[in-house]
Amino acid sequence: MANEKRRLVVKIGTSSLILPNGRVNLRTVDRLAYTLASLNNQGFQVALVSSGAIGAGLASLQLTQRPQEIAKQQALAAIGQMELMRIYSQRFLDYQTQVAQILLTRDVLAFPVSRQHVLNTFEVLFEEGVIPIVNENDTVAVDELDHHTTFSDNDELSAMVAVRLQADQLIVLSDIDGFYDQNPRENPAAKKLARVTELTPAMQKAAGGSGSNFGTGGMVTKLRAAQAMMTAGKQMVLCNGANPTVIFDVVAGKPVGTVFG
């Protein structure tokens, strides 16, 4: 593994963080903390974009169904974000690594002044060896506001953060092994693409919907993230997040998942 200072953004989805029964997947969180702390100790500058606030909120209140009302979703996100950060802080401290919370809306990254303030914060955290944990500020970002505050999903948020931070690589951990030419859940003959250098209309058509009862993302938002990274001349890797130590293989350049760019 290279020793030069590299900047990485890692995004982990709700489907990787929340078990099918709605409880937080502590084993995944622990492996993620171990992996990112290890990279941090090696001199990598790492930011984590984490979904899962609403899923964690559901688990905290012992609920299994995501409510339709936006206010109730916001309340669950407020509860769950606290729980997620408590778990993250605990697990990362086990590996002698400090974390910080950064909650964003699209407006913050769209306006030059607020964007620069946020980027300055990231830079100081990196200099201090602290891992920023980023999520959307769900309690204020709602679709019916007059201005656009929401990211379509944290996939898109992770790409925007990676581009703004001029990260070398965006690693998206999901519940799928990579990008397939067809939906592998529907067609066993679907083939995984090892590398994608251009997103074609056929690829866009192959993207399905949300894959998790607790999350909002799907392959469509991952392709948007990939396109944003490729447009910026950067690389995105989509791989299975069941065992986050796969990140070691990604940064070592081993053939894992699908490489975009």
Evaluate if residue 86 carries a pLDDT over 50: yes
Q: CB 146: neighbour CB atoms within 10 A?
A: 5
What does the domain layout of the chain look like in residue ranges? 7-260
Residues annotated in the binding site for ATP, as ranges? 11, 174-175, 216-222
Which two tokens mark 122?
Answer: 């990231």
pTM higher than 0.85: yes
Residue list for the binding site for substrate: 51, 138, 154
Q: Answer whether residue 83 shows pLDDT above 80.
A: yes
Would you call 39 exposed, middle or buried from its count of C-beta atoms within 10 A (0-12, 13-18, 19+)? Answer: buried
CB 105 within 8 A of CB 141: yes
Instruction: Determine the Cα–Cα distance for residues 159 and 130; give it in Å rounded to an integer.
Output: 20
Instruction: Say whether domain 7-260 belongs to CATH 3.30.930.10.
Output: no
Helices (H), the chain: 14-17, 26-41, 53-60, 70-94, 106-110, 112-127, 154-164, 201-206, 219-231, 246-251
Q: Residue 9 to residues 18, 26, 125, 229: CA-CA distances in angstroms? A: 20, 21, 14, 11
Of residues 162, 163, 171, 166, the one with CA closest to residue 250: 171
Task: Work out the pLDDT band at 146, boundaries 50, 70, 90.
Answer: very low
Enumerate the known binding-site residues.
11, 51, 138, 154, 174-175, 216-222
CB 240 within 8 A of CB 177: yes
Closest CA relative to residue 209, chosen from 228, 185, 187, 227: 185
**Residue 208 binned pLDDT confidence (cut-offs 50, 70, 90):** low
Which is more confidently placed, 110 or 161?
A: 161
Q: In DSSP terms, which residues pair with 10 in a beta bridge?
A: 48, 171
The rounded mean pLDDT for the chain is: 88
Residue 218 DSSP class? B
Looking at residue 58, its pLDDT comes to: 93
pLDDT digits (tens, 9 = 90+) for 45-67: 999 999 999 999 999 999 988 89
Q: How far is CA 142 from CA 36, 114, 125, 182, 259, in A?
A: 31, 19, 28, 32, 32
